[in-house]
């Protein structure tokens, strides 16, 4: 990690770092964590402070929890809640400014709401698409099912508002 940071001129926020061992046996993971503490030097003001990076069983990346032997736990509910709040806020602002017209509203929605709804999609998206496809037998049912997706419904609700 130190070599990578030096090569690319990057800094690491040690307080946000966690370490995890991916091994199928829990006793191996625990032994590795107990025997191999990782100490990183953090710069606090003008002083160098040694900090131990903690070992964890599960980590969080792009809003998703993962760990050895566990699949990604989707965070789509949290994203949907945040997206809904952003959509209502956007609607109020556009109405107040007299800009609730499709050309402006759709662009604002794409920037402010869709970016929230799709946050981390590269991680959780394949699981959602796979579930959607395996739950539906043919393409017509796949399309119908995708229209019932809460994130798609949120976008439809916004489009109805500006139509």
Q: What is d(CA 119, CA 96) in angstroms, rounded to the nearest whole number?
A: 28
Mean pLDDT for all residues in the chain: 81
In this structure, are 156 and 124 located in the same domain?
yes
Structural domain for 109, as ranges? 71-162
Q: What is d(CA 17, CA 42) in angstroms, rounded to the nearest whole number?
A: 12
C-beta separation of 23 from 38 below 8 A: no
36-73 per-position pLDDT tens digit: 888 877 777 788 888 888 888 887 776 667 777 666 55
Domain count, the chain: 2
In this structure, are 45 and 100 located in the same domain?
no
In this structure, are 85 and 136 located in the same domain?
yes
pLDDT of residue 128 exceeding 90, the answer is no
Token reading at 124 = 């959780």
In this structure, are 85 and 147 located in the same domain?
yes
104 domain residue, yes or no: yes
Give the pLDDT band (50/70/90) at residue 19: confident
DSSP state of 119: T
Q: Beta strands of the chain (E only): which ranges?
A: 38-44, 47-53, 59-61, 64-67, 70-73
């Amino acid at each position: 990690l130190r070599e990578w940071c030096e090569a690319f001129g990057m800094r690491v926020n040690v307080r946000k770092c966690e370490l995890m061992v991916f091994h199928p046996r829990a006793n191996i993971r625990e032994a590795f964590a107990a025997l191999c503490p990782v100490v990183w030097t953090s710069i606090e003001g003008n002083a160098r402070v040694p900090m131990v990076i903690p070992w964890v069983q599960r980590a969080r990346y792009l809003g998703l929890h993962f760990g050895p032997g566990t699949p990604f736990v989707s965070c789509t509910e949290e994203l949907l809640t945040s997206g809904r709040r952003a959509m209502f806020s956007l609607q109020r602002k556009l109405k107040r400014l007299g800009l609730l017209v499709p050309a402006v509203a759709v662009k604002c929605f794409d920037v402010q709401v869709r970016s929230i709804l799709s946050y981390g999609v590269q991680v959780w998206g394949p699981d959602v698409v796979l579930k959607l496809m395996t739950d539906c037998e043919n393409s017509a049912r796949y399309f119908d099912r995708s229209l019932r997706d809460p994130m798609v419904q949120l976008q439809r609700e916004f489009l109805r508002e500006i139509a």
